[in-house]
Amino acid sequence: MEALTTITSTAVPFPHEDVDTDQIIPARFLKATTREGFGENLFRDWRYLDEDVPNPEFILNKDTHSGEILITGRNFGCGSSREHAAWAIYDYGFRALIGTQFADIFKNNSLNNGILPIETDTKTYSQLLESVETDPKTEIIINLEDQTVSVPSISLTFSFDINPYKKMCLQNGYDDIDYLISQSETIKAFEKNLHS
Protein backbone atom coordinates (compact mmCIF):
# COMPACT_ATOMS: atom_id res chain seq x y z
CA MET A 1 0.00 0.00 0.00
CA GLU A 2 1.20 3.50 -0.88
CA ALA A 3 1.95 5.78 2.11
CA LEU A 4 -0.25 8.83 2.61
CA THR A 5 0.75 11.85 4.70
CA THR A 6 -0.67 15.03 3.19
CA ILE A 7 -2.93 15.76 0.24
CA THR A 8 -3.21 19.18 -1.33
CA SER A 9 -5.77 19.12 -4.09
CA THR A 10 -8.97 20.43 -5.56
CA ALA A 11 -12.06 18.25 -5.13
CA VAL A 12 -14.94 16.71 -7.06
CA PRO A 13 -18.40 17.26 -5.53
CA PHE A 14 -20.56 14.13 -5.49
CA PRO A 15 -23.25 15.00 -2.96
CA HIS A 16 -25.56 12.01 -3.50
CA GLU A 17 -26.96 10.10 -0.53
CA ASP A 18 -26.86 6.32 -0.06
CA VAL A 19 -24.55 5.71 -3.03
CA ASP A 20 -24.16 1.94 -2.93
CA THR A 21 -21.18 -0.04 -4.18
CA ASP A 22 -23.25 -1.29 -7.14
CA GLN A 23 -23.27 2.33 -8.36
CA ILE A 24 -19.55 2.71 -7.66
CA ILE A 25 -18.80 -0.42 -9.67
CA PRO A 26 -21.63 -2.59 -11.08
CA ALA A 27 -21.38 -6.36 -10.52
CA ARG A 28 -20.91 -7.12 -14.21
CA PHE A 29 -17.48 -5.46 -13.99
CA LEU A 30 -16.26 -7.63 -11.11
CA LYS A 31 -15.00 -10.45 -13.26
CA ALA A 32 -11.33 -9.50 -13.31
CA THR A 33 -8.93 -11.51 -11.18
CA THR A 34 -6.48 -8.66 -10.56
CA ARG A 35 -6.88 -5.37 -8.66
CA GLU A 36 -6.04 -3.01 -11.53
CA GLY A 37 -8.12 -1.23 -14.13
CA PHE A 38 -11.40 -0.76 -12.25
CA GLY A 39 -11.22 3.06 -12.51
CA GLU A 40 -12.40 2.82 -16.09
CA ASN A 41 -15.79 1.63 -14.87
CA LEU A 42 -16.09 3.80 -11.76
CA PHE A 43 -19.74 4.98 -11.49
CA ARG A 44 -20.26 3.24 -14.83
CA ASP A 45 -24.04 3.43 -15.14
CA TRP A 46 -24.18 7.08 -14.07
CA ARG A 47 -21.18 8.04 -16.13
CA TYR A 48 -22.32 6.54 -19.43
CA LEU A 49 -25.55 6.63 -21.35
CA ASP A 50 -26.60 3.74 -23.57
CA GLU A 51 -24.09 2.59 -26.16
CA ASP A 52 -21.21 3.66 -23.91
CA VAL A 53 -21.69 7.34 -24.72
CA PRO A 54 -20.40 9.49 -21.84
CA ASN A 55 -23.23 11.26 -20.02
CA PRO A 56 -22.40 14.97 -20.46
CA GLU A 57 -24.30 15.81 -17.27
CA PHE A 58 -22.20 13.54 -15.06
CA ILE A 59 -19.63 15.33 -12.93
CA LEU A 60 -16.65 13.22 -13.99
CA ASN A 61 -17.44 13.95 -17.64
CA LYS A 62 -17.56 17.72 -17.18
CA ASP A 63 -14.34 19.65 -17.27
CA THR A 64 -15.31 21.83 -14.31
CA HIS A 65 -14.04 19.69 -11.43
CA SER A 66 -11.10 17.38 -10.90
CA GLY A 67 -8.75 16.42 -8.09
CA GLU A 68 -7.72 13.71 -5.66
CA ILE A 69 -10.57 14.38 -3.22
CA LEU A 70 -14.16 13.23 -3.65
CA ILE A 71 -16.86 14.95 -1.59
CA THR A 72 -19.49 12.30 -0.91
CA GLY A 73 -23.06 12.29 0.45
CA ARG A 74 -24.26 10.43 3.56
CA ASN A 75 -23.93 6.62 3.71
CA PHE A 76 -21.54 6.45 0.76
CA GLY A 77 -20.41 2.90 -0.08
CA CYS A 78 -23.39 1.04 1.38
CA GLY A 79 -24.39 -2.41 0.16
CA SER A 80 -22.05 -5.04 -1.20
CA SER A 81 -18.66 -5.65 0.47
CA ARG A 82 -16.88 -5.65 -2.92
CA GLU A 83 -13.43 -4.15 -2.40
CA HIS A 84 -13.52 -3.48 -6.14
CA ALA A 85 -15.36 -0.25 -5.18
CA ALA A 86 -12.31 1.00 -3.28
CA TRP A 87 -10.01 -0.23 -6.07
CA ALA A 88 -12.08 1.67 -8.67
CA ILE A 89 -11.94 4.89 -6.64
CA TYR A 90 -8.20 4.57 -6.11
CA ASP A 91 -7.54 3.57 -9.71
CA TYR A 92 -9.45 6.62 -10.94
CA GLY A 93 -7.12 8.79 -8.88
CA PHE A 94 -8.96 9.67 -5.67
CA ARG A 95 -6.91 9.47 -2.46
CA ALA A 96 -9.36 10.92 0.07
CA LEU A 97 -13.12 11.06 0.56
CA ILE A 98 -14.89 13.66 2.66
CA GLY A 99 -18.49 13.03 3.72
CA THR A 100 -20.81 12.87 6.70
CA GLN A 101 -20.96 9.08 6.99
CA PHE A 102 -19.47 6.07 5.22
CA ALA A 103 -20.74 2.50 5.26
CA ASP A 104 -18.64 0.29 7.54
CA ILE A 105 -17.25 -2.32 5.16
CA PHE A 106 -16.50 0.26 2.48
CA LYS A 107 -14.67 2.41 5.03
CA ASN A 108 -12.48 -0.53 6.04
CA ASN A 109 -11.82 -1.39 2.42
CA SER A 110 -10.79 2.19 1.69
CA LEU A 111 -8.37 2.31 4.59
CA ASN A 112 -6.91 -1.02 3.47
CA ASN A 113 -6.16 0.50 0.07
CA GLY A 114 -4.56 3.79 0.99
CA ILE A 115 -7.71 5.89 0.66
CA LEU A 116 -8.49 8.22 3.56
CA PRO A 117 -12.24 8.47 4.39
CA ILE A 118 -12.89 11.63 6.42
CA GLU A 119 -16.16 12.02 8.30
CA THR A 120 -17.35 15.46 9.37
CA ASP A 121 -20.54 17.08 10.65
CA THR A 122 -23.33 18.23 8.33
CA LYS A 123 -22.58 21.93 8.74
CA THR A 124 -18.89 21.64 7.87
CA TYR A 125 -19.75 19.32 5.01
CA SER A 126 -22.21 21.86 3.58
CA GLN A 127 -19.67 24.70 3.84
CA LEU A 128 -17.04 22.62 2.11
CA LEU A 129 -19.43 21.43 -0.59
CA GLU A 130 -20.68 24.92 -1.34
CA SER A 131 -17.17 26.22 -1.63
CA VAL A 132 -16.12 23.43 -4.02
CA GLU A 133 -19.29 23.74 -6.10
CA THR A 134 -19.01 27.51 -6.53
CA ASP A 135 -15.27 27.59 -7.03
CA PRO A 136 -13.85 24.41 -8.59
CA LYS A 137 -10.36 25.74 -7.93
CA THR A 138 -10.92 25.56 -4.17
CA GLU A 139 -7.79 24.06 -2.69
CA ILE A 140 -8.15 21.59 0.17
CA ILE A 141 -5.23 20.58 2.37
CA ILE A 142 -5.47 17.32 4.29
CA ASN A 143 -2.84 16.70 6.95
CA LEU A 144 -3.01 13.17 8.30
CA GLU A 145 -0.44 13.68 11.06
CA ASP A 146 -2.42 16.61 12.53
CA GLN A 147 -5.75 15.05 11.51
CA THR A 148 -6.92 18.31 9.98
CA VAL A 149 -8.55 19.52 6.78
CA SER A 150 -8.13 23.16 5.79
CA VAL A 151 -9.71 25.19 3.06
CA PRO A 152 -7.71 28.45 3.02
CA SER A 153 -10.04 30.29 0.60
CA ILE A 154 -12.91 30.20 3.11
CA SER A 155 -10.71 30.12 6.24
CA LEU A 156 -12.15 26.77 7.22
CA THR A 157 -10.17 24.26 9.25
CA PHE A 158 -11.60 21.18 10.92
CA SER A 159 -10.18 18.10 12.54
CA PHE A 160 -11.22 14.50 11.97
CA ASP A 161 -11.00 11.21 13.84
CA ILE A 162 -9.09 8.19 12.72
CA ASN A 163 -8.13 5.06 14.59
CA PRO A 164 -4.49 5.57 15.68
CA TYR A 165 -3.50 2.16 14.35
CA LYS A 166 -5.06 2.79 10.92
CA LYS A 167 -3.41 6.22 10.86
CA MET A 168 -0.02 4.66 11.46
CA CYS A 169 -0.70 2.12 8.67
CA LEU A 170 -1.69 4.84 6.17
CA GLN A 171 1.28 7.05 7.05
CA ASN A 172 3.70 4.20 6.52
CA GLY A 173 1.92 2.28 3.80
CA TYR A 174 1.60 -0.81 6.03
CA ASP A 175 -0.93 -3.53 5.27
CA ASP A 176 -2.78 -5.28 8.11
CA ILE A 177 -1.57 -8.58 6.76
CA ASP A 178 2.07 -7.75 7.56
CA TYR A 179 1.13 -7.18 11.17
CA LEU A 180 -1.01 -10.34 11.34
CA ILE A 181 1.73 -12.51 9.88
CA SER A 182 4.08 -11.13 12.54
CA GLN A 183 1.62 -12.50 15.14
CA SER A 184 1.83 -16.13 13.91
CA GLU A 185 3.15 -17.54 17.16
CA THR A 186 0.49 -15.79 19.26
CA ILE A 187 -2.20 -17.10 16.89
CA LYS A 188 -0.76 -20.60 17.11
CA ALA A 189 -0.86 -20.48 20.92
CA PHE A 190 -4.46 -19.22 20.79
CA GLU A 191 -5.52 -22.05 18.47
CA LYS A 192 -4.26 -24.67 20.94
CA ASN A 193 -6.92 -23.60 23.43
CA LEU A 194 -9.73 -23.27 20.93
CA HIS A 195 -12.51 -25.82 20.45
CA SER A 196 -14.79 -24.52 17.76
Partner 1 sequence: MSKTLFDKIWDKHVVTSIENGPDVFYIDRHFIHEVTSPQAFDGLNKRGIKVRRPDKTVATADHNVPTENQHLPIREELSRKQVAKLEQNCEEHNVELYGLGHPWQGIVHVIGPELGITQPGRTIVCGDSHTSTHGAFGAIAFGIGTSEVEQVLATQCILQNKPKLMRITVDGKLQKGVTSKDIILFLLTKLSASGATGHFIEYAGTAIESLSMEARMTICNMSIEMGARGGLIAPDETTFDYIKGRNFAPKAEQWEYKLQQWKELFSDKDAIFDTEHHFQADEITPWITYGTNPGMGISIDESVPSKDKIDPKFQDGFEKSLNYMGLQENQALKDMPVNYVFIGSCTNARIEDLRLVADLVKGKQKADNMNVFVVPGSSQVREQAQREGIDKVLESAGFQLREPGCSACLGMNEDKIPKGEYCVSTSNRNFEGRQGPGARTILASPLTAAATAITGKLTDVRSFISN
Instruction: List contacts with partner 1 (CB under 8 A).
Output: 15-18, 20, 22-23, 26-28, 30-35, 45, 73-75, 78-84, 86, 101, 103-105, 108-109, 112-113, 163-166, 175-177, 179-181, 183-184, 186-187, 190-191, 194, 196
> Is 91:115 a contact under the CB 8 Å cutoff?
no
In the complex, least distance from residue 159 CB atom to partner 1, rounded to whole angstroms? 17
From the list 53, 161, 166, 31, the residue with the least C-alpha distance to 101 is 161
Closer residue to partner 1, CB minimum distance, 73 or 154: 73
In the complex, least distance from residue 33 CB atom to partner 1, rounded to whole angstroms? 4
> Is 55:48 a contact under the CB 8 Å cutoff?
yes
Closer residue to partner 1, CB minimum distance, 152 or 181: 181
Closer residue to partner 1, CB minimum distance, 48 or 92: 48
What are the percentages of helix, strand and coil residues in the chain, rounded to 5?
40, 20, 40
In the complex, least distance from residue 133 CB atom to partner 1, rounded to whole angstroms? 14
In the complex, least distance from residue 187 CB atom to partner 1, rounded to whole angstroms? 6
CB atoms within 10 A of CB 167: 17
CB atoms within 10 A of CB 19: 24
Closer residue to partner 1, CB minimum distance, 114 or 150: 114
In the complex, least distance from residue 189 CB atom to partner 1, rounded to whole angstroms? 9
Residues 6+ apart with CB under 8 A from 149: 98, 118, 120, 128, 140, 141, 142, 143, 157, 158, 159, 160
23 class by beta-carbon count within 10 Å (0-12 exposed, 13-18 middle, 19+ buried): buried
Closer residue to partner 1, CB minimum distance, 64 or 163: 163
In the complex, least distance from residue 146 CB atom to partner 1, rounded to whole angstroms? 17
Closer residue to partner 1, CB minimum distance, 6 or 190: 190
